[in-house]
Structure 1
Amino acid sequence: MISTVLRQTLRVGMVGAALVLAGCGKKVLDFRNAEIANGKIFSSGANSPFSGQVTNIDIFKIPNLNNGASPILKTLNSLIGASLYSDEYITLGDLCDVNVKDGILQGKGLCKAVKGDNVISEFSFENGVLQNHFKMFSKTSEFVIAEADFDSGRLDEKCCYPILIMDSSLPKQNLKKESWMATSFVTLWTVNTPFTKGVS
């Protein structure tokens, strides 16, 4: 029979191990408890920039993402004839989860719609600018609607074609918002016009 002293020793050891493991994990900061100063993200009231994952950051607080992906959004929305602020207008998402190092965007990130957990865009940052592969998904997150590569914040002109997934019953030349909102997407159509050049 295990003595009381031994049980207490084991319990203390287990708690200590759990605390050590928790300390080894990546720090997570909800943006409600964060602030931006001089272009860097801080935990509210902290003197040193934050390193770890920042969750639920408003997409408009990430200007390098909006500016870098702007040509992609313009291309997609022009293809479906969607106007700004309309229900059909394609966006990168609303709230984002990003990784930062010393307050600067670094590593993978994603954005979701404000209502629901569907991922709308995936991307990577290096030293605060878009780098490597970028993806956008339909509002249901089931299909890729655009892919591109970035190099130091600029679109790679060799990989700049949107992929629209549309209902096969609709002619390609008559792409409309109905095809975008359709629930049955079975045809891949690669647009033959590249995105406009990336922004600086």
Structure 2
Amino acid sequence: MKDLRHSLLLAGVTSIALSGLAACGSNTLDYRNAQISNGKIFAGDDNRPFSGHLTSLPDQQLRNSQSGLTQIMQFVGLGNQNFHGSTATVFCDVDVKECYLDGKAICRELDSGAVRYEMSFRDGALDGDFKVYAPTGDDNVISEVSFDAGRANGEQKVYNIVTKKLVYDLHWERGKSVGAQTRFDAETGKQTFQSHFDDNGKLDGDYIESAPNGTIFHKVQYAHGQKDGAEDTFDNATGKPTSHIEWQNDRMNGAYRKWDAGGNLVTDDTYQDGTLVPTAAEQQAASDAAAGMAYADCMKKWQRAGMALQAHTASPDDEVRQWQTSCQQGILPG
């Protein structure tokens, strides 16, 4: 019974899709009867290039074949993690020209026939507008972006299925993140993330993370993909600082401070070009230790020479004092 219902529904979906595709030819090929080789689509064992209309293509098969689509769909999923409704099986009808996907594609739920995705292809790659509809059957567009030769190109907005609030506002250029990238909380609508990318797709400028109530808990400066400037973290509940780090060319350079939950400073260090700089007290202690070791080494050398000195000098005490004075000055007597 289910197979019969499936067949009848597919026949209905195909007739609807074909109504506006007369210019693409009358050939219709079901995915079960297609052969796909190196991305090319053939009708069964026919070696001639297929042109016409391919039906019942599983949406997952289509999505997996387009890396640019996988890239933008991850944000649709991330922006709708609070949606726990059932997701139906989805099949796509798409035009094919000379073996390659070329033309408009519509993907519908198997049971309800509701549209889930609309897109278009050129020479086997996504090209033009791509729309994602909510799986709630209300024709609610939850994401839309344009593609150019298989890569997202332009602004992508993602809306939450449940609250219908904007959760992502992204910008792409041929598959690279460029310009401002922003995330919002699905419940409060407040900004929870902000970053900026340069023309090469590298982080550049403010990188800010916030709690759902809008309170900033992490911010850092980037310059063309490298941390460059101050990085600060704050306690979510109190807003008090928990750390402060200064960066230059992705290396710690400057102050490094940490505070405990009570707001007490527990670490106050300084770095230079990624290396911890000793404090004045630590430097003095290291200097004193080095001087002590040098003095001890100097006096050991005197002890080895002491017997010889006592044998030929009339005033060995004077000699000892001279050695000690010289050793204290870091000079080994000749």
TM-score bracket, shorter-length normalisation = 0.5 to 0.7
**Quick one: structure 1 residues 113 and 195, their matched pair in 2 at CA, closer, same or farther if it must change by over 3 Å?**
farther
Q: What does residue 104 of structure 1 align with?
A: 100
Q: What does residue 149 of structure 1 align with?
A: 146
Paired residue type of 1:70 = T
* Aligned partners of 1:120 and 1:137 also within 8 Å: yes
Aligned length: 152
Q: What does residue 73 of structure 1 align with?
A: 73
Structure 2 distance, partners of 1:193, 1:106, is 29
TM-score, normalised relative to structure 2:
0.40
* Aligned partners of 2:105 and 2:118 also within 8 Å: yes
Structure 2 distance, partners of 1:71, 1:116, is 27
Residue 137 (structure 1) aligned with residue 133 (structure 2):
yes
Give how far 1:60 is off. 3.4
Unaligned runs of 5+ in 2: 1-21, 177-334
* Aligned partners of 1:71 and 1:195 also within 8 Å: no
**Quick one: structure 1 residues 161 and 125, their matched pair in 2 at CA, closer, same or farther if it must change by over 3 Å?**
same
User: Helix, strand or coil: the match of 2:60?
Assistant: helix
Q: What does residue 166 of structure 2 align with?
A: 190
Unaligned runs of 5+ in 1: 1-21, 168-187
Structure 2 distance, partners of 1:42, 1:72, is 29
* Aligned partners of 1:106 and 1:128 also within 8 Å: yes
Paired residue type of 1:146 = S
**Quick one: structure 1 residues 141 and 36, their matched pair in 2 at CA, closer, same or farther if it must change by over 3 Å?**
farther
Q: What does residue 47 of structure 1 align with?
A: 47
Please identify which structure carries the higher strand content: 2
**Quick one: structure 1 residues 67 and 89, their matched pair in 2 at CA, closer, same or farther if it must change by over 3 Å?**
farther
TM-score, normalised relative to structure 1:
0.65
Structure of higher RCO (CA pairs closer than 8 Å, 6+ residues apart): 1
Give how far 1:116 is off. 2.3
User: Helix, strand or coil: the match of 1:193?
Assistant: strand
State which structure, 1 or 2, has the greater radius of gyration over its C-alpha atoms. 2
Provide, for residues 119-174 of structure 1, a one-character-per-residue CA deviation record: whole Å limited to 9, x for no partner. 10000001111111010101115211110011111111x3222234544xxxxxxx
Aligned CA RMSD, in angstroms, stands at 3.0
Structure 2 distance, partners of 1:74, 1:195, is 14
Structure 2 distance, partners of 1:138, 1:75, is 14
Give how far 1:89 is off. 8.0
Percent identity among equivalent residues? 33
Provide, for residues 33-78 of structure 1, a one-character-per-residue CA deviation record: whole Å limited to 9, x for no partner. 2111222111111111210000001223325654222233211221
Q: What does residue 182 of structure 1 align with?
A: none
